[in-house]
Amino acid sequence: MNNVLEIKNLSYIYSDGFDYVLKNLSFSFEKGKVYAIKGKSGSGKTTLLSLISGLERYKEGSILFKGKELNDIDLDYYRSSNIGIVFQSFNLLPHLNAIENIILSMDISKVKSIDKYKMAIELLKSVGLDEEKGKRRILKLSGGEQQRVAIARSLSYNPEIIIADEPTGNLDKETEDEIMKILTDLAHKENKCVIIATHSNNIASKSDVIFEIKKSVKNKEKIA
C-alpha cells in the first residue's frame, strides 16, 4: 500500500468549546482513488478537510503526508504545491475572468511556465471549457462552469491531492454527474488522490472508498 496521506487517532476540539468535533479518526488515502467523506451537517467534515489541507492545526493525533507529520512541514509550500482545494462556493475572484483566476493561482504558487496563458487554456480544456468561456468574467459563467474553473485552478500547480468540500452542493443532478466525472478522471487517469466531503449519496456511490463520520452527541465520542 502506498499511502500519500494518513490520519492516525486524530481528534479536534474548538478552542472555545468543550466537546470534540472529531474523535480518534484513523483513515488512509492512496493516489489513484476517489474518497468520499460522508456525514450530516455538523459532523466535522469541513473541519477534517481544513486539518488535512493545513488550514487548521491539530493537537491530538497525527496527519502524515508521505510519512511526514503535517504540523512539522512548511504548510505554505504544502498548500501551494502538494494539495489543491475546491470549495462549494467556488472562491473565484469575480473581477477577473476564468483564465486570469488560473494564472493568479500559478503566480501565487510560483509555477514556472513560458506561457501561463496557454497553460491556463489547456487546464480549462481538461475540464470541458474552451478559450471563449475562459475569457468571460466569473459571474458570466453558470454554477457548473464556475466549479469547472475552480477545479482547473486547483490543478494549476499539479498537486498530488485534490480536496473538494461539497463541490456539487449548489448544482443540479446532471451537472453534479459531470463534475464527479472530472474528479473521478483526475484520480483514475491522472493518478491524483481525490478526497470529497459530501452529503450526496450519488457522489458517494461513484467514489472508490467511503468514510463516514457520525455527528457527535455531547459528552459522547464520535466514531468513524
Taken in order of first residue, the domains within the chain and their CATH numbers are 32-57+74-212 (3.40.50.300)
How far apart (Å, rounded) are the C-alpha atoms in residues 208 and 28? 13
Flag whether pLDDT at 222 surpasses 70: no
Q: How many CB atoms lie within 10 A of CB 147?
A: 29
Residue 177 CB-density burial (10 A; 0-12 exposed, 13-18 middle, 19+ buried): middle
pLDDT digits (tens, 9 = 90+) for 122-177: 999 999 999 999 999 999 999 999 999 999 999 999 999 999 999 988 889 999 99
Share of the chain above pLDDT 70, in %: 94
Flag whether pLDDT at 220 surpasses 80: no
Instruction: Supply the angle between the helices 98-108 and 143-154 in degrees, to the nearest 10.
Output: 20
Strand order in the sheet with 34-38: 83-86, 161-165, 193-198, 34-38, 209-212
Q: Which residue, among 76, 34, 31, has the nearest Cα to 53 in the 3D structure?
A: 76
The pLDDT value recorded for residue 215 is 67
Give me Rg for the CA atoms of the chain: 17
Across 6-10, 44-48, 96-100, 131-135, least confident range: 44-48
How far apart (Å, rounded) are the C-alpha atoms in residues 86 and 194? 11
